[in-house]
Structure formats: structure tokens, C-alpha cells
Amino acid sequence: MSGSAEADAPAVTREDGPEDTCSDSTAFPVGCVVRLVGLSKSEFNNHVGRVDVPLSAATGRVGIRLDGVVWPIGPGGGRSPRQRAAAAAAPLALKANNLRRCRSPLPLGPAPSVLGSIPGWAIVKVLGERGWGLQDAMAEQISAYLRMDFLKGTDTSITGCSSYRGDYPIEVALNSKEDEWWISEAGSMPGGVGREFLTFSFGAMPRRVSFVGVRIPPMPSGPLSVRDFHLEVPPQGTTTETAAGFDVWCMVPSTSEFRTLDNGALQEFALVPPLETTAVRLVCTLNAASASSSRDDWGPDCIGLFQVAFA
């Protein structure tokens, strides 16, 4: 045990620091939030789960229960049969090296510093009276300019889409009802393949976005359901008002292989690193019927979903 005062000071880490990749038995305690990576069944990669069964010395595996982490499912009856079935699924038995720890989605805590910078308390320490000599009040103000608010549910709105069939207003994609949906117009996805999107706004100021959730009807009820999708953001420096004018948005590379599973849960995906943006497009590229077919020319010619959520 060191006698140095510095030994007790918290380490300074960047706000976008690397995830914990440890695989020892203490790295993934019960309740720990994780994302799945490097699995041969690639449709599970990037999904969010929670440790349900600790690391087994006999099998070398950890029990992971998917979904209900970012948006808790809640006990009892208010769920549909599809949601109850998804919640009752047995935990996945996964190797520790296929898990990466995620920050817990709740509670949000104080606003973090922007990606690539050090935490706010460290900025004050470095620039303030104990560091470079600025008054602490001035250092606090500098730190405040480098903070990025977390996204809250009430910040999200739908501002547009590539097309829609017209069954319901596109805003229903933000609610959890299973008798309302967004579906693109007929012919928009020939053979079940294409590029149909919903555009979401988070307000006038950028927000930190760490998770996306998608709910679909599973097969056989959901041949139109989105299977493959990715996210896009407007060019850097644009505002919510000017973003709509850009035809070419930038794909978020870490979302290039997002794929839904065939269940009725609000499926949760981790964004690593998180996004800092005023708007996002969720771009649907393949529907469930086409994904399950060996033919390239078969599949319903549109695509849809029940719900999208961000946090």
C-alpha cells in the first residue's frame, strides 16, 4: 500500500476510453451490462445484455440475458405475448472474450465531457487554482462548454422518412404499441433489398447517444420486418434545421452490421463509440423475408417496424 497521496487519486481517462475486455471471474459480475462481439452467429453481435449467471469455472461461459436493460421490460401483464415470450427466453451461454462491458444506461448522472476529452473534474483540476492557476470558477465555465448532455426520451422526434405506406402517421414509430407501425411504400424495396429510412431529431443542441432499440413483429407475422439496418448522421457542423437539406449523410461505421433477431422484444444495440449529434437516420436495407430466403429476387417489396428508441 503506497503512502503517496497520488495513489488515492482517481485515474484520468478519456470520455471515449476503451471498453473493459477482461475475462477473469470478477470482470462480469451478475447485473453487469455488456455488449456482444466477435460471435460466429453475427446476428447477435452488438446486442446489449445483462449478466444473469456468473462465469462458470467448468464451462468458461457467462449467462447473458438480452434486452430489457436500456428500456426495462417490467414485470407482469402489460406486455404482449410476443414481449412475454422474448423475456422468458433462456440466457445465452457465452465466452467472456465475446463480451465487452458497457456503461449502465441508468442513472445518467452528470453530463459527460465531449468525446476525446478528459472528464470535467480533471479539466477543472488541470486548469484551476491547483493546476495552471486559473480561478476555479473560470475553469468550471470552461469545463461546462465541453460538456455534452445525455439524450433523454423526450428529446427524440421523427422529422421525416424516405417513404411510407400511409397506414399510420410516421410518429407512431416512437411508441410501443403493436397495432401501429411504419411501413415503407410498396415497391420501395424490390426483392426485400434497398434503402428506406426514418429520420430522428434530438433537438437544437447535440446529444450523447449510446443505444438504439428496434422492435419488430417476428416471423411468420413479420415478413416485412427490418432485418439489416445501420445508422447515419448529418455532416459534421450541421444543425437540426440544415440537416434535412443534405441528401448524403454519413454512415456510422460501428453500425454497419446491425441485425435484428427474430423476436418481439425491443432489441437493444450499443453504439461504440457513442454518437454526439442533433439527428440520426435509421436506414433499413434488408427485410426478414428476404434474409430468410436463398433467392436474391424474392421478398416483399417494402419494409417496416413497430418501434425505434434512442438513449
* φ, ψ for residue 258, nearest 5 deg: -70, 130
Q: What is the DSSP letter of 5?
A: G
Give the C-alpha distances (Å, rounded to integers) separating 278 from 103, 118, 150, 200: 22, 22, 12, 9
Q: Are 135 and 129 in contact (CB under 8 A)?
A: yes
Mean pLDDT, all residues of the chain: 85
Among positive and negative, which fits the CA dihedral 38, 40, 43, 49?
Answer: negative
146 has a pLDDT exceeding 70: yes
33 has a pLDDT exceeding 90: yes
pLDDT of amino acid 87 = 63
pTM: 0.84
263: CB partners within 8 A, 6+ apart? 82, 85, 86, 89, 218
- pLDDT band for position 84 (50/70/90)? low
- pLDDT band for position 110 (50/70/90)? confident
Q: Cα–Cα distance between 195 and 77 in angstroms, integer?
A: 37
Q: Which three cell numbers stand for residue 252?
A: 456510422
What is the residue-wise DSSP string for 174-220? GS--SS--EEPPTTSSGGGEEEEEEEEE--SS-EEEEEEEEE-PPTT
